[in-house]
Amino acid sequence: MRKSLLNMSKIWGKRFPIACLLGVLILVQTSWPAEPGKPHPVTIEDLLGLRNGFSAEISPDGREVVFSVMEPGNPRAAKPPIANLWMASVDSGARPTRLTAGPQTDWSPHWASDGKRIAFLSSRSGSTHVYVISLPGRRTTPVTPADVDVLQFSWSHDGRRLAILTDDDRGEHDYGRHLAGSVDEVVISRRSNSLRLSIVDLATGNLRPITPPGITIMGFDWSPDDAQLIILSRKSDGLEYFPVSPADIGSLAIIPASGGEIKTFANLKGTGGAVRWSPDGSRIALQAHDSKGIGKLMRTIMVFDLRSGQPPRNLLSNYQGSVLDFDWTPDGKQIVFTGAEGVYTGIRVVDLESGAVASTPLPDGAMEELTVSSARPRMAFFDAGPHHPRDLWVADLEGHRRQLTELNPQTKNLIFGDQEVVRWKTTDGASIEGLLLKPNDFQPGKRYPLVVMAHGGITGWSRWKHGFLTDVGQVMAAGYGYAVLYPNPRGTPGYGTQFEDALVGDIGGREIVDILKGVDSLIEQNIADPERLGIGGWSWGGTTAAWTVSPTDRFRCAVDGGGIVDWVSFFGQSDSPFVATLLLGGSPSEHPDLYRERSTIFHLDQIHTPLLVIHGEQDDHIPAGQAWEIYRGLKMRDKEVEFVIYPREKEFLTEPAHALNFMNRVLDWYQRYLKPGSPEQPSDSGTVRMLSERAPGDV
């Protein structure tokens, strides 16, 4: 079935590298399929050499699935990764066949309703445009104007038009007429900063905007008769694309496909995700939050009845997970969704009449990117296991499923540490969950150096799941004798509204207590060596690592990868100030004491742990100034700090050489301080300044 939404991760994708959206840091050269090799512990080169499947969509008749495969780059030849389209047959069992080839990135394929054409996004011209492949001849044609950069698109049901989303981020150049020569100043205060919806007529190539400047379209879908579109939007404020707080008002509205009056039928607080029209056109389903969080993992599904006009129904009011993807069944009587439930993901079905949520016979796993056929209850998705990178699967609601790809057969020859789901109680009695990677030669009763990997993403954004881990922790467990803990503390999605909301207004509070209690639990079980502890992470994980080593000396080293250390400067410099206003309840001028109290930069005198600081030079989300601040602050205090910056990189590293350098550098940092014979650091054996003297969560 067609995917016509533009959720928050898609919007961020216009500014962040595609590797961010795919959940992959970067890739290194290999072949498909790889020749069998001698079994060996997984290495950094093995991890970065994985192929990654993404952007799958099942055909309308459910017989074929089109998807993208990210091919690895080569760090030694400065060769970037590429992505091409492939097609898998559901019924024949034949090997997948390639649809496109070349050094570009092709992704987001969508079937026309006749099943004879596939439209997709491609970077082959230097910008992002929509191309159409006609089957079976596979002739490829560009269908959007050369001067228009497309973010997202959707077919009309009759296959004659495309709805496309484009960036209307325009800055006025109001003094250009007064000066000689060209001028490229941008008047920030006049930026519209909006995403506009347009219609492309495929017969004529004509493009016609149908939404005005000044509003940002967050999601959209065609009505079954193609006469209208449903749009999820918010007013642009010149600051950013996202709501700045849960109180920020968005709206659901209907607009004629030919343009015209926008008829709003619901106002919404906060943010929403996917929006989908029911097959019979009578209802609208919206992936939404019922909590304080703003993230890509929504809490529930709201259904609006267009005929009765009654208030929307919250289909998942008692559901304790988070919704990743969803779609209507062909008869419109049920909604199928992938639910994040702790470290697992399951496929669930909610009945529209009764509101009952049922599990399917399919086993829980790490499912992502659910796509449902419009003609039969058949679906496709990616799934992975602890020792198996994700592959494409097809299934039905009765529990029958079949694997369609084997993208990385070489992993059969790799040795991994065992991955175990672990749980512990924190100070207020709450149960916390995480993953533990054990060394592949693990012996009960023997203590091992332990590294805590804090996950990225703010509240409602990210979690560790029981699937294939692609970070350096895999290598450390498999080949270097480490135990690695991946905790899901308060603020993590997949554990219910109260759990997720605990981070709002309390950053650096309960989540840190939760993590430290997880470390205590592993020490008590004689798994972790209390004298050889490390902590690190990327983005929010880097934020967590830097903050954690200010109240305690128990970690012998830490890694701050792209983290926030100063909330005041972050608010002023980031392209996403909503992160600060959401978590801290307003702007720095409204809460100056709280901003100062929860910023690591104001607690540097208490840091005695060697810190590796790493950042992308051109990161707009968490600007590199954050890294410079903590580096200079620690250096002036004669603290042990190493600072590495990667040129040209944004929030996530996309150049293969940088990725290889980064992972080896992080491994070497932990080896320097945690391997036997490494230099001793001052240890307070777990005393936690600032945390132990206050009630849990109050820092």
**Other CB atoms within 10 A of residue 331 CB:** 11
Instruction: Measure the CA–CA gap between 565 and 630, rounded to whole angstroms.
Output: 7
| 430 lies in the same domain as 373 | no
375 in a domain, yes or no? yes
| 62 lies in the same domain as 122 | yes
**What element of type H or E holds 277?**
strand 272-277
Q: What is the pLDDT of residue 687?
A: 42
| 305 lies in the same domain as 423 | no
pLDDT in tens, 19-42: 333 333 333 333 344 445 789 999
Domain count, the chain: 2
Q: What is the pLDDT of residue 412?
A: 95
| 491 lies in the same domain as 374 | no
CA end-to-end span of the chain: 48
Instruction: Measure the CA–CA gap between 138 and 100, rounded to whole angstroms.
Output: 9
Q: What is the pLDDT of residue 79?
A: 79
In this structure, what token pair is assigned to residue 477? 């467990």
65 in a domain, yes or no? yes
In this structure, what token pair is assigned to residue 139? 């002739």
Domain span at residue 205 reads 8-32+41-172+191-410
| 371 lies in the same domain as 446 | no
| Cis peptide bond prior to 610, omega within 30° of 0 | no
533 in a domain, yes or no? yes
Per-position DSSP letters for 183-233, written without gaps between them:
----BGGG----EEEEEEETTT--EEE-S-TTEEEEEEEE-TTSSEEEEEE
**What element of type H or E holds 633?**
helix 625-636
Q: What is the pLDDT of residue 186?
A: 73
| 647 lies in the same domain as 577 | yes
pLDDT in tens, 589-606: 999 999 999 999 999 999
| 443 lies in the same domain as 404 | no
CATH number at residue 426: 3.40.50.1820
Q: What is the pLDDT of residue 695?
A: 35
Of 380, 410, 440, which residue sits at a domain end? 410
The b-or-e profile of 289-303 (16+ CB within 10 A means b, else e) is bbbbbbbbbbbbbbb
pLDDT in tens, 44-75: 999 999 999 999 999 999 999 999 999 988 87
| 347 lies in the same domain as 425 | no
| 228 lies in the same domain as 289 | yes
- pLDDT lower than 70: segments of the chain: 1-36, 77, 169-183, 191-193, 236-249, 270-271, 290-297, 459-460, 677-699
Of 410, 429, 458, which residue sits at a domain end? 410
Of 394, 410, 426, which residue sits at a domain end? 410
Q: What is the pLDDT of residue 502?
A: 86
Q: What is the pLDDT of residue 462?
A: 85
| 355 lies in the same domain as 457 | no
Instruction: Measure the CA–CA gap between 194 and 238, rounded to whole angstroms.
Output: 8
| 357 lies in the same domain as 467 | no
CATH number at residue 94: 2.120.10.30
**Other CB atoms within 10 A of residue 22 CB:** 20
| 378 lies in the same domain as 297 | yes
